[in-house]
């Protein structure tokens, strides 16, 4: 853990952080989120549809956000799911998260190997969720692929010991 902490500290010192500390970046996110919320107020049940944020955003864009008029997503996982797939899509995503984290908790008790794999997969999902609070995290082909790979591997970590237990009794 100490080595991981040292590596993260070193990376934080070496990586350019101007963008992370930029008031402009933070303010732009706030503008996008305000515009996205207004979209949700107008389209609460079905959202605006997959990949349609770019076309709706100019109608909702705040005047202060004129520097970046071509936003393709709301830079927030919850807003993105709700606007892209509607309230049912957001509920489905929440259900997937509940099942993932339940499996994760179960897998942590299945022994050292399964526990380590589950911990790594849980860290991957946690990173996806955290990153999704400020940027895109699902609705790109590579990000969706890694989400489903992580989700499926966690399901397999839980299923394999159960399958082995079922065949050992025969």
User: Which of the four pLDDT bands, split at 50, 70 and 90, describes residue 70?
Assistant: confident
Q: Which residue has the tokens 């930029």?
A: 22
Q: Quick check: 170 pLDDT over 60? A: no
Sign of the Cα pseudo-torsion (42, 58, 63, 37, in order) = positive
User: Which of the four pLDDT bands, split at 50, 70 and 90, describes residue 24?
Assistant: confident
- Which tens digit of pLDDT belongs to each residue from 72-117? 999 999 999 999 999 999 999 999 999 999 999 999 888 888 899 9
Q: Report pLDDT for 26.
A: 83
Rounded CA separation 70/32 (Å): 11
HSE at residue 31, side-chain half, CA atoms within 13 A, is 19
Rounded CA separation 54/59 (Å): 10
Q: Report pLDDT for 112.
A: 86
Q: Quick check: 4 pLDDT over 70? A: no
- Which tens digit of pLDDT belongs to each residue from 112-154? 888 999 999 999 999 999 999 999 989 999 999 999 999 999 9
Rounded CA separation 43/57 (Å): 13
Q: Which residue has the tokens 């499926």?
A: 152
Rounded CA separation 107/66 (Å): 48
């Amino acid at each position: 853990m100490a080595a991981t902490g040292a590596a993260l500290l070193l990376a934080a010192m070496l990586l350019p952080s101007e963008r992370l500390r930029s008031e402009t970046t933070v303010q732009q996110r706030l503008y996008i989120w305000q515009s996205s919320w207004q979209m949700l107020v107008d389209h609460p049940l079905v959202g605006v549809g997959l990949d349609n944020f770019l076309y709706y955003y100019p109608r909702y864009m705040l005047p202060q956000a004129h520097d970046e008029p071509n936003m393709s997503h709301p830079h927030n996982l919850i807003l993105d799911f709700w606007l892209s797939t509607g309230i049912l899509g957001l509920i489905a995503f929440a259900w997937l998260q509940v099942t993932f984290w339940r499996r994760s908790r179960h897998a942590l008790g299945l022994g050292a190997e399964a526990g380590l794999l589950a911990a790594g997969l849980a860290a991957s999902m946690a990173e996806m969720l955290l990153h999704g609070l400020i940027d895109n995290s699902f609705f790109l082909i590579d990000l969706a692929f890694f989400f489903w790979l992580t989700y499926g591997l966690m399901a397999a970590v839980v299923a394999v010991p159960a399958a082995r237990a079922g065949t050992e009794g025969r």
